[in-house]
Structure 1
Amino acid sequence: MNLKFSRALVWLTLGYMLLFLFSAISPSSRAVWIAEIVPAVFILGTIWWISRQYQFSTTAYVLMFIWLALHTIGAKFTFAEVPFDWFNQLIGSDRNNFDRVAHFSIGLYVYPVAEYLLKVKKVSPSIAMSYALFALMALAAGYEIIEWWYADLAGGDEGIAFLGSQGDIWDAQKDMLMDTLGAICSLVLLAIQRRVFSSIHER
């Protein structure tokens, strides 16, 4: 089989591998790093596997790699300890909000899902976008359950570091909200791009 992958995918992967190596060198907690990096590697492998049959747009690849990059940085430092003071001070928060930004970036995966449904499955835009949104929201809720389970299983400081709630009892709900907001923003971007491309083709 003669496989030809997107140039954007290749370059983004090469850049990610450098970040992966940086993350792997002396992480704050090796146990937390392993627990956090496994889903990132799984997602990267899934992107490449799907790309054997379908080439996403450059925009879709960039959006997917944003989360991979942020998650890998969080794996190195733990999300509560990532150097992010400039942003926390910008919004006037004493809490490290790097994990909130990372959760927002999870929502960006709605873009490639909706794009795939539109181009390959030929479903209507309303169904494609609704399905992608609700699937992401369900996945976000499922991840919070898995996160709680692993944190309880690991226990101690490692469990607390993995959970990253930083003492916020509503952390899981806020994380899911950020996932959803990221998803909505990505769908707005997709809708705008479709309208722009459609108007160009009509000229």
Structure 2
Amino acid sequence: MSTRTTGVGYLHCILLLALIVSGWQPVDRQTWLIENILILIGAMAVWCSRQHFYWSRRSWIMVIAFLCLHEVGTHFTYPQVPYNEAIHLISGMDLNAAFGWERNQYDRFVHLAYGLLFSLPLREIVSQKCELKGAWASLIAWSLVLSTSMLYELMEWLGAAYVGGGDSAFVGAQGDFWDAQKDMAVAAAGSLVVLMCRGHALRDKVLALRGRLTAN
């Protein structure tokens, strides 16, 4: 195993532990099973393609961090994750009251985390397999975040329509008519922030290297 992937096995163990813990007496067993189908499909896809592509350690950390956040949502169901109670217990702050939130915002936070944490792993795939660099690689990675967010929202719609009996509560919309659009928007915004920061950091490194070469 290369130094870029050293310790990845431990990260896999963390994810497995999170999966086991989340599956221990979840609030809704059916929801837990449905929410983890994509995790199973993704794990199988990564396993089957391991000879052709393998993420760096940084990308694995970001991916597994996101999946652990997702497992919290699968255990409690997204509309019932007690993040506000947890924050109040730790800091005494009522986050919902401070921001005037009337709904549980955990699902929105996880969609934001998807953009923040999956953009660089997706960009890594684009860079390695498509041999794209710079702004083009970032643009394709951002497009992938947008398109996969859309596909997820379509799956939620189909699930609500044909499994949940047409009830929007099945997908945790919490009565928000624009829930799908807002979820995609925060994912796109998070992705854009990360990719722009990466671009600026890379540009600064190039300018610093150019300055040292000029000085020599």
Same fold (TM over 0.5): yes
Q: Describe the SS at the equivalent of 2:68.
A: helix
For residue 112 of structure 1, report the CA deviation from its aligned partner. Answer: 1.4
Q: 1:181 to 1:101 in 2, by over 3 A?
A: same
The match for 1:105 is 113
d(CA) in 2 for partners of 1:191 and 1:44?
29
What's the TM-score once normalised by structure 2's chain length? 0.80
The answer as to whether partners of 2:126 and 2:140 remain within 8 angstroms in 1 is no
Q: 1:54 to 1:190 in 2, by over 3 A?
A: farther
Q: Describe the SS at the equivalent of 1:28.
A: coil
In structure 2, the gaps of 5 or more residues are: 88-94
For residues 28-107 of structure 1, what are the structure 2 equivalents within 5 Å?
Answer: 28-85=27-84, 86=87, 87-107=95-115
d(CA) in 2 for partners of 1:122 and 1:57?
16
Larger radius of gyration between Structure 1 and Structure 2: 2
The answer as to whether partners of 1:78 and 1:162 remain within 8 angstroms in 2 is no
Q: Describe the SS at the equivalent of 1:71.
A: helix
The match for 1:124 is 133
What's the TM-score once normalised by structure 1's chain length? 0.85
Q: Does 1:139 align with 2:148?
A: yes
Q: Does 1:25 align with 2:21?
A: no
Query: What letter is aligned with 1:111?
Result: L
The answer as to whether partners of 1:40 and 1:72 remain within 8 angstroms in 2 is no
Q: Name the structure, 1 or 2, with higher relative contact order (CA <8 Å, separation 6+).
A: 1
d(CA) in 2 for partners of 1:197 and 1:115?
19
For residue 41 of structure 1, report the CA deviation from its aligned partner. Answer: 2.6
Please point out which of 183, 188, 192 is paired with 2:196. Answer: 188
The answer as to whether partners of 1:33 and 1:78 remain within 8 angstroms in 2 is yes
- Which moves more between the two structures, 11-20 or 189-198? 189-198
Q: Describe the SS at the equivalent of 1:95.
A: coil
d(CA) in 2 for partners of 1:115 and 1:84?
32
d(CA) in 2 for partners of 1:89 and 1:9?
40
Q: 1:44 to 1:189 in 2, by over 3 A?
A: farther
d(CA) in 1 for partners of 2:147 and 2:184?
9
Number of aligned residue pairs: 200
d(CA) in 2 for partners of 1:194 and 1:121?
20
Show CA shifts across 1:150-201 (max 9, x none). Answer: 11222259x5454101111111111011110121122124324433554565
Query: What letter is aligned with 1:178?
Result: V
For residue 50 of structure 1, report the CA deviation from its aligned partner. Answer: 4.1
Quote the sequence identity (%): 27
For residue 103 of structure 1, report the CA deviation from its aligned partner. Answer: 0.6
